[in-house]
Every structure is written in C-alpha cells, then in structure tokens.
Amino acid sequence: MSTAKSLERDSLEARIAALAVPPGAAACVWLGQGGYLFKSPGGVAIMVDPYLSDYAEAFWGVSRAIPPVIDPERIAPDVLLVTHWHEDHLDAPTVRHYARQPDVIFAGPESCVIRARIWGWPAERTITLERGDRRTFGDVEVTATFARHDEDAALTLDAVGFLLDVGGVRIWDVADSEYDARLRSMRDERIDVMLVPINGGGGNMNAHEAALLAWHVAPRVAVPMHYGMWPDAQYGPGATLDPETFRETLAKLGGTAEVRVLEPGEIVLFEGS
C-alpha cells in the first residue's frame, strides 16, 4: 500500500467514517473552540459550530493557533447545527462548502438560517430551531435550549444551546453563554455530558462560573471548552483559559461530575446513564 493511501486510511476523517458506535454510547470529537462532531449508534453524524477556517480573523483580529482538525472536503455531516451567528461558530467558508453537498441539513436560530440561505444553502434543507424547538434526525433528538450570549459589539439575541439525545446519551452543549440562573433548570434534564465554555470574555462565563453551573446541573461528565483556538492574549484581558481552573473550582464546590479535558481531534465515547 502506498504511503498516501495509508495516511488516508489512518486519517481522522476515515476513522470517524469507519467508527461503529455501540448501542448506549455517543462518539464525540472536539473540533476546537465551541465546535464538535458527534456520531450516533445509528451512524448519524452531527456537527455543531465547526470553525474550520480563519474567517473570524478579518472581523475580530484573531488568528488560529491550531490547524483545523478535519478537512471538510473529506467528511460531511448529516446535520450541521449552529448556535449563533458569530464568525467562529457560523463559519461562512464551511457553511458555503456544505451548502453544495446534496444531503446535508442546516439547522439553527433564524439569524443563522437566513445567513446560510444567503450563502447558498437551499431553503428546503434548512430548519429553524429557536429556544424550545425539537427535531429528530434518525436516532438523534435535538432540542434548542436557552443561552444568554451578551456581546454588545455583535448582538446575538436568538443564540441557543443544544440538548442532544444521541442514541440515549444526553449531551448538553451549553454553547456561548454568560452565567444565568435560568440555565440551572437543565438539572431536571438528566444530563450525561455537559459541554461548557470557560473563557470568561466576549459574552461567556468564566471558568469559576462554569464550575458553579456544573455544580448546579450535576451532569455525570463535564467538559470545558472555548479555549485554545487562538493565542491566549487574543481572548482578552482576564480570560480564564486553563481547564484545570474549572476542575479545581468544581472540586472545591463539591461537584460530582467527572471532568474530561479533551484534545482537539481526539475521538471519545460517552455512555448514557
């Protein structure tokens, strides 16, 4: 076998495509920042907020510190979910690319759906998901949840998070959000895995607030996110970018969640309760 074919076979995209997810589990790949790829036991692939370009640099002056962990030319999701329109979540080059794929569905709040359609996504393959809306894609159920992403320079009044039931594994992507007492009601949703931002700037809770929310919601597993995509200084003054700060504060609060710190491009399996 040639070296090129061997590398292609061993690529992350190939390993995801070949992965058979066992019943009662969900495969997860952190794409960096707030981006994830999930695969269900039924083979449904869901991408959430994939940032695979340098699109945000022109708008915010932030440049990638890590390369994209997947190549959109080599892998496509069944569903592309977007939580809000900020450039590191609604990545125009990625959206334009997947708009040309014949079977990919785009879903998110209205501000994102409108932009996706302008960028070429056929209207019949878009779904508007506002807070409380629920849709099912194979063995994946998606519910849009409350978020409060206050960024005066770029308002996102319809920003959401997503509660995904992936083959029975309940994963809450808090998404970009300030700490808000209304998020604490998610404790009633029997969360297996909670993905929570920790950076503490640009309309997001800091690591201590994220730990407080995790203490309230009590997921089985808590995963800190929204750090490491850009050099630390570009996250702004006072940013809390060390996931160990989140772990330590949660432990001080008496939180019961297992803290999992993921590496970009790592494939992990989460199990349901």
| pLDDT tens-digit series, residues 8-40 | 558 999 999 999 999 999 999 999 999 999 999
**What pairing do the DSSP bridges indicate for beta strands 25-32 and 267-271?**
antiparallel
Q: Let me know how many helices (H) and strands (E) the chain has, helices first.
A: 7, 14
In a domain, residue 157? The reply is yes
Q: What is the CATH number of the domain that holds 128?
A: 3.60.15.10
Q: What pLDDT is recorded for position 2?
A: 43
Site of tokens 């809450």:
172
In a domain, residue 218? The reply is yes
Q: Is 210 helix (H, G, I), strand (E, B) or coil?
A: helix
Number of domains in the chain: 1
Which of 129, 122, 139, 151 is CA-nearest to residue 48? Answer: 129
pLDDT in tens, 126-168: 999 999 999 999 999 999 999 999 888 788 999 999 999 999 9
> Could you tell me the residue range of the domain that residue 165 belongs to?
24-266
Does the pLDDT of residue 117 top 50, yes or no? yes
In a domain, residue 197? The reply is yes
Site of tokens 């190939």:
14
In a domain, residue 1? The reply is no
In a domain, residue 99? The reply is yes
In a domain, residue 12? The reply is no
In a domain, residue 123? The reply is yes
pLDDT in tens, 165-174: 999 999 999 9
Give helix 92-99 / helix 110-118 axis angle, nearest 10°.
70
In a domain, residue 271? The reply is no
Helix H or strand E encompassing 252:
helix 243-253
Strand order in the sheet with 25-32: 126-128, 105-108, 79-81, 45-48, 35-39, 25-32, 267-271
